[in-house]
Amino acid sequence: MMQRWKRKPAKFPLIALIFSVCIVISILYNERKIHTVYENKLQKTAEQVEEEVAVEDEVPVTQTDQESSNPPNISIHSNPKPVPADLDRFTTCTSIRNYSGERKTRKVIGLANPFAKIGGGSSSDSCDLFSGKWVFDNTSYPLYKESRCPYMSDQLACNRHGRSDLMYQNWRWQPHNCNLKRLNATEIWEKLRNKRLMFVGDSLNRGQWISMLCLLESVIPSDKRTITPQAPLTVFRAVVIEFHWAPLLVESNAGDPVNHKADNRIIRPDTILKHAAEWDKADILIFNTYLWWRQGPVKMLWSTEENGVCEELDGMGAMQLAMEAWAEWVATKVDPIMKRVFFVTMSPTHMWSREWEPGTEGNCYQQKTPITTEAYWGSGSDLPKMRMVDTILSRLGSKVSVLNITQLSDYRKDGHPSVFRKFWEAVSPEQLSNPPSYSDCIHWCLPGVPDVWNELLLQSL
pLDDT of residue 230 exceeding 70, the answer is no
pLDDT of residue 453 exceeding 70, the answer is yes
Residue 347 designated active-site: no
Report residue 57's pLDDT band, with 50, 70 and 90 as the boundaries.
Answer: low
pLDDT tens column, 302-345: 988 888 898 999 999 999 999 999 999 999 999 999 999 999 99
The three-class DSSP label of residue 301 is coil
Looking at 57, 410, 440, 451, which residue is catalytic? 440
Looking at 153, 203, 211, 439, which residue is catalytic? 203
Sheet arrangement for strand 251-252: 95-98, 309-313, 298-300, 266-268, 251-252
For 179-191, b/e burial (b = at least 16 CB within 10 A) is: ebeebebeebbee
Domain ranges of the chain: 128-460
Distance CA 451, CA 408 (A): 13
Residue 275 designated active-site: no
Which class for 11: exposed (0-12), middle (13-18), buried (19 or more C-beta within 10 A)?
exposed
Report residue 295's pLDDT band, with 50, 70 and 90 as the boundaries.
Answer: confident
Q: How much is the mean pLDDT over the chain?
A: 79
Of the ranges 224-228, 231-235, 432-436, which one carries the lowest mean pLDDT score? 231-235
Helix 383-395 and helix 315-333, axial crossing angle in degrees, nearest 10: 20
Distance CA 99, CA 302 (A): 11
Residue 264 pLDDT: 81
Looking at 57, 390, 443, 451, which residue is catalytic? 443
Residue 188 pLDDT: 87
Residue 416 pLDDT: 98
Give me the mean pLDDT over the 70-99 stretch.
62
More confident of the two residues 222 and 133: 133
Residue 244 designated active-site: no
Report residue 101's pLDDT band, with 50, 70 and 90 as the boundaries.
Answer: confident
Q: C-alpha angle 51/57/62, rounded to 5°? A: 65
For 426-448, b/e burial (b = at least 16 CB within 10 A) is: eeeeebeeebbebbbbbbbbbbb
Name the residue among 388, 392, 408 with its Cα closest to residue 400.
392
